[in-house]
Amino acid sequence: MEIEFKQRNIPFRREQSVPVLYKAFTLGTPYRADFVCHGSIIVELKATGFERARLINFATPRLDYQRFIQSKSHLRSSASSVVELQPRGEE
Q: What residue segments make up the domains of the chain, in order of their start?
A: 1-45, 46-91
Q: Is-contact 18 40, C-beta < 8 A? A: no
End-to-end alpha carbon distance in the chain: 30
Tell me which residue of 17, 83, 25, 28 sits closest to 58, measured CA to CA. 25
Instruction: Compute the distance between CA of residue 80 and CA of residue 41 in angstroms, rounded to an integer.
Output: 25
- 19-58 confidence digits (pLDDT tens): 888 888 999 988 899 999 999 888 888 777 788 887 777 7
Q: pLDDT value at position 87?
A: 53
- What mean pLDDT value characterizes the chain? 78
Please give the pLDDT value at position 3.
93
